[in-house]
Chain A
Amino acid sequence: MSNLVYLMCSLPALTFGQNPTITLDEFNKDAKSQLSTKHFKKLEAADIRKSDSNGTKSGLKSIDELLDDVRQDCSEIRNAKAQSRTPNLNRLPKAVLGANPLEREKMIMQLQWDELESAGANETFTFTEVVVYKLKLQILNRLHSFDEERGAQVLASVVNPAKKEEA
C-alpha cells in the first residue's frame, strides 16, 4: 500500500490534450520498482490498444467493458460502411460518423479518457488508479504522436517511396 501511495504521489498529473511529462518507459520503470511482481505483471498486460481479443484485459471490469464496446462500435462502423447502411452504435457518439479520421480518433480517445476518469474517480491510491494512470498515459502518448508533418511524410513514404529515400 505504501509503495502504491509513493508511486502515485511521484507521478505527474495528466490532462487530456497535454504533452505527457513522463514517458511510458519511465512510468514502467517506476512501477516496476514500487509494485509487487504480481501487480506489475497485471499492469504490464493492461493495454488501451487491445481489448479482450488477446487476453490482455486491464483487469478492471468497467474499463474492459468500455474497450470492448469501442471495439465493437468500430467493427460496426466498418461493417455498416461495407454494407452501405447506417451503423448502430453502442458506446461511441453519433458525431464520430461525420467527423474526419483525426477528429474521430480524438473523439474515441476523449471518450476513453472520460470513462477512465470515472473509473479511477473513487480509487485513490489503489491498483486500479495505477492501471487507469497507465491507460491514460497511453492515450496521451498516442495523441501526442499525431503530427501533420510526420503524417504527410508517412503518406509520401507509402505513396511515393522515392520521396522517403530523399528524406
Chain B
Amino acid sequence: MAGVKIKYTKTERAKQKKILKVSQRMLPLFEAMEKSLMATVNAITERIDEIRQVIDANTQKAKPWLAVMSDAYVDVNAFIKVNKVNTKAVDVAGVRVQQYESVDFHVMPIDDDTPLWVDDAIELMQEQLQLLAEIKCLEEQIVLLEEELLDVRARVKLFENRRIPNAKMAIRKIGQKLQDDERLTIATAKVVKTGKQEEVLV
C-alpha cells in the first residue's frame, strides 16, 4: 500500500470493497488449487519411485545372466533403438501435460547365427526402456506442475499478504476520512449557523 495514493472518495471505497470481496472469494480457490497440485506432484513422485523399483527388480532378476551381455562376439547396442516415445496430451490438476502411451522400437532382424541370449536381452531392454520413457514423461509432468504450483503459491501470497490487507486498510482509511469530513462539515455548518443567529440578535 506504501506509495499508492488513496483517493478518499465513496467511489474508491466501493471499488476497494469490490476488490476485497473478489479476493476473499478467489483465495480459497487458489488454496485448493495449490493443495491439488501438491497432491498430484506427490502422487507422480510416488509413481516414479514405483517404476524405479520395477526397473531395479528387473535388473536384479537379470543379474545371474548379465555377464553374457559382454559377449565379445555380439554388439547388442546395434540390435535395438528407440524410434519414438508416444504420448498424449491430458489435463492433470488443470495443467496440460503429456502422458506416456508407448515406445516405438527399431529392432534389428535377428538371424540364425545370432546367439539366443540376444532375444532375452532385447526383451529386457525393451521393458527397461519403456519404464524409463514413462519416468521421463512423469518427470516432465512434475516440471510443468511445479511451475504452475509456484505461480499459484505466488497468487495465494499476493492475496493473503497484499490484496486483502491493502483493501481492508484502504476501506478503513477512506471510512475514517469520510467520517472526519462529515463531522467537519457538520461542525462548520453549526458554527456558521450560530454566527448568523448572533448577528440577527445584535
Chain B residues, Cβ within 8 Å of A95: none
How many B residues touch A, CB cutoff 8 Å? 31
Contact of A101 with B116 in the complex, beta carbons under 8 Å? yes
Contact of B112 with A146 in the complex, beta carbons under 8 Å? no
Contact of B116 with A105 in the complex, beta carbons under 8 Å? yes
Which of B68, B77, B111 makes the CB contact (< 8 A) with A102? B68
User: What are 13 sample pairs from A and B whose C-beta atoms fall under 8 A apart?
Assistant: A51-B113, A101-B68, A105-B116, A108-B116, A142-B72, A145-B72, A145-B73, A147-B70, A151-B68, A151-B70, A153-B70, A155-B66, A158-B129
Q: How far is the CA of A10 from the CA of B62 in the complex (A)?
A: 41
Contact of B125 with A158 in the complex, beta carbons under 8 Å? yes
Chain B residues, Cβ within 8 Å of A153: 70
Which of B66, B113, B120 makes the CB contact (< 8 A) with A49? B113
Which of B68, B69, B72, B112 makes the CB contact (< 8 A) with A141? B72
Interface of B is mostly: helix
Chain A residue nearest to B112 in the complex (CB): A75
Of the four ranges (under 10, 10 to 19, 20 to 34, 35 or more), the interface on chain A belongs to 20 to 34
B-contacting residues of A (Cβ < 8 Å)? 49-51, 53, 71-72, 74-75, 77-78, 81, 100-105, 108, 141-142, 145-148, 150-155, 157-160
Contact of A101 with B65 in the complex, beta carbons under 8 Å? yes
Chain B residues, Cβ within 8 Å of A157: 77
Q: How far is the CA of A104 from the CA of B71 in the complex (A)?
A: 13
Q: How far is the CA of A71 from the CA of B115 in the complex (A)?
A: 9
Q: How far is the CA of A103 from the CA of B128 in the complex (A)?
A: 22
The interface bits of chain B over 111-146 (1 if a CB of A lies within 8 angstroms of the residue's CB, else 0) are 111011101110011001100100000000000000
Q: How far is the CA of A96 from the CA of B67 in the complex (A)?
A: 17
Contact of A102 with B64 in the complex, beta carbons under 8 Å? yes
A-contacting residues of B (Cβ < 8 Å)? 59, 62-73, 76-77, 80, 110-113, 115-117, 119-121, 124-125, 128-129, 132
Q: How far is the CA of A142 from the CA of B115 in the complex (A)?
A: 12
Contact of A160 with B132 in the complex, beta carbons under 8 Å? yes
Chain B residues, Cβ within 8 Å of A154: 69-70, 76-77
Chain A residues, Cβ within 8 Å of B64: 100, 102
Contact of A102 with B67 in the complex, beta carbons under 8 Å? yes
Chain A residues, Cβ within 8 Å of B112: 53, 71-72, 74-75
Chain B residues, Cβ within 8 Å of A81: 119
Q: How far is the CA of A72 from the CA of B116 in the complex (A)?
A: 12
Contact of A105 with B66 in the complex, beta carbons under 8 Å? no
Q: How far is the CA of A72 from the CA of B71 in the complex (A)?
A: 21
Contact of A151 with B113 in the complex, beta carbons under 8 Å? no
The 6 A-B residue pairs with the shortest CB-CB distance, nearest first, are A145-B72, A101-B117, A150-B70, A102-B65, A151-B69, A151-B66
Q: How far is the CA of A103 from the CA of B68 in the complex (A)?
A: 9
Please judge, given known A-B contacts A78-B110, A100-B64, whether A49 and B119 are in contact too, CB under 8 Å: no
Contact of B68 with A53 in the complex, beta carbons under 8 Å? no
Chain A residue nearest to B125 in the complex (CB): A158
Chain B residues, Cβ within 8 Å of A50: 113
Report A99 CB to chain B, min CB distance, Å.
9
Report A166 CB to chain B, min CB distance, Å.
15
